[in-house]
């Protein structure tokens, strides 16, 4: 089942309200004055961010529903159902009552982000890294672009440990990363002591986390059909699995992954149509040269490209191959994990 790891709520306020609520918490031990974030409730699943620009001010709530409901988000992500969804809303009501003295409620905030998440326990760091390298071989995807360029890469970002795409117009981001490495890089020092950190890293060892993030009002509205925050969350809880898979299918080609020589052997063995076979062999030859499945298909400019892709799916072979430099010889298709 697909889970929700994080969602974000935002409310614009005037300067008086902004200063009033920030002043109540800014001297706390868990308040980060540099970033204007209150981490006092982060172990309970809520980070409060007082975000301001020159002319506008917002109060943002970054909510981890697994922790709100008392679960460890490394081991057990929230899997929404009617009962625990009601419990989540009750816990948020309790938060509003205590943090804002009941001055605000859930629907005063707008849902601005919703992260659909799947943890894949692959068993080893090497296997996680191999899958991330394979995803980088896909490179360019229609409707998406690499999230980071050479000039704006975060200081702690390691492309060997993370694959990140940003939707050009969809308002949807897709990311896959080594969860243990992410914990180590971020250190989450506002949340856990060193002993707890070591425990979390051990639990996340060999785990590939895949996220499909709805990050715009357009994408959230498209998938919920409403502007009501509580109804939006409810709708995304119910439809999260097919939304996750629909966007992921735009990124992931079907089939198991092999080195090029083995892929050629499989095509030669399983495809009888000589013309179709020739085109499939051309495609797997072009992909590493163009460094993108999408660009390779554009270069082929074949009006029957979907028939070619359907044949790859029929023989359960991914057209994107494993690099010669990688030691691993084959990978199970990622779609089979869902």
Show which of 234, 251, 268 is a domain's final residue: 251
The 8-class DSSP code of residue 5 comes to E
* Local structure of 36: helix, strand or coil: coil
Percentage of residues of the chain with pLDDT beyond 70: 93
pLDDT exceeds 90 at position 76: no
How does residue 161 score in pLDDT terms, banded at 50, 70 and 90?
confident
pLDDT exceeds 90 at position 198: no
269 and 162 in a common domain: no
167 and 282 in a common domain: no
Q: What is the mean pLDDT of residues 180-205?
A: 70
For 258-316, how does the pLDDT look when each residue is reduced to its tens digit (9 = 90+)?
A: 999 999 999 999 999 999 999 999 999 999 888 888 889 999 988 889 999 999 999 99
Q: Which of 133-137, 185-189, 231-235 has the highest mean pLDDT?
A: 231-235
Q: Which of 7-16, 75-84, 115-124 has the highest mean pLDDT?
A: 7-16
pLDDT exceeds 80 at position 25: yes
Show which of 251, 272, 300 is a domain's final residue: 251
pLDDT exceeds 50 at position 32: yes
263 and 242 in a common domain: no
State which residues form the domain around 264. 257-337
pLDDT exceeds 50 at position 60: yes
Alpha carbon distance 170, 246 (integer Å): 12
Q: Which candidate, 76, 69, 60, 161, places its Cα nearest to that of 117? A: 76
Alpha helix positions (H), the chain = 15-25, 65-68, 82-99, 125-138, 179-186, 194-204, 217-224, 229-251, 260-270, 274-290, 293-300, 305-314
pLDDT value of position 191: 55
159 and 64 in a common domain: yes
315 and 175 in a common domain: no
105 and 204 in a common domain: yes
**pTM, whole model, 2 decimals?**
0.87
54 and 197 in a common domain: yes
- Greater confidence, 213 or 142? 213
128 and 96 in a common domain: yes
How does residue 188 score in pLDDT terms, banded at 50, 70 and 90?
very low
144 and 161 in a common domain: yes
> Is residue 73 classed exposed, middle or buried when 0-12, 13-18 and 19+ CB atoms within 10 A define those classes?
buried
Show which of 251, 273, 306 is a domain's final residue: 251
- Total number of domains constituting the chain: 2
Q: What is the mean pLDDT of residues 211-221?
A: 95
pLDDT value of position 97: 94
201 and 297 in a common domain: no
The overall average pLDDT reported for the chain is 89
- Look at the alpha carbons of 214, 121, 76, 184 in this order and tell me if their dihedral is positive or negative: negative
Torsion of CA 92, 180, 138, 317, to 10 degrees: -100
273 and 175 in a common domain: no
pLDDT value of position 180: 86
pLDDT value of position 190: 44
166 and 293 in a common domain: no
pLDDT exceeds 60 at position 187: no
């Amino acid at each position: 089942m697909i889970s929700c790891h994080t969602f974000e709520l935002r409310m614009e306020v005037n300067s008086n309200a902004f200063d009033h609520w920030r002043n109540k918490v800014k001297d706390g031990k868990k308040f980060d004055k540099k970033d204007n974030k209150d981490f006092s409730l982060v172990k309970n699943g809520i980070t409060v961010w007082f975000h301001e620009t020159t002319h506008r001010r917002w109060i943002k709530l970054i909510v981890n529903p697994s922790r709100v409901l008392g679960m460890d988000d490394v081991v057990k992500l929230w899997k929404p159902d009617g009962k625990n969804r009601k419990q989540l809303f009750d816990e948020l009501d309790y938060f509003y009552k205590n943090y804002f003295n009941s001055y605000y409620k859930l629907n005063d905030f707008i849902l601005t982000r919703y992260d659909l998440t799947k943890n894949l326990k692959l068993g080893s760091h090497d296997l996680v890294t191999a899958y991330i390298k394979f995803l980088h071989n896909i490179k360019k995807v229609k409707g998406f672009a690499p999230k980071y360029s050479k000039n704006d890469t975060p200081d702690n970002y390691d492309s060997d440990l993370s694959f990140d795409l940003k939707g050009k117009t969809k308002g949807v981001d897709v990311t896959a990363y080594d969860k243990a490495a992410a914990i180590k890089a971020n250190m989450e020092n506002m949340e856990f002591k060193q002993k707890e950190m070591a425990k979390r890293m051990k639990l996340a060892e060999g785990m590939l986390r895949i996220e499909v993030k709805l990050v715009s009002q357009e994408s959230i509205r498209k998938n919920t059909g409403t502007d009501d925050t509580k109804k939006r969350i409810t709708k995304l809880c119910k439809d999260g699995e097919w939304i996750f898979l629909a966007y992921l299918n735009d990124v992931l080609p079907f089939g198991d992954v092999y080195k090029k020589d083995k892929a050629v052997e499989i095509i030669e063995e399983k495809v009888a149509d000589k013309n179709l076979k020739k085109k499939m062999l051309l495609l797997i030859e072009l992909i590493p040269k163009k460094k993108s499945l999408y660009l390779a298909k554009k270069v082929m400019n074949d009006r029957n490209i979907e028939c070619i892709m359907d044949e790859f799916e029929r023989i359960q072979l991914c057209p994107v191959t494993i690099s010669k430099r990688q030691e691993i010889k084959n990978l199970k298709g990622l779609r089979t994990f869902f």
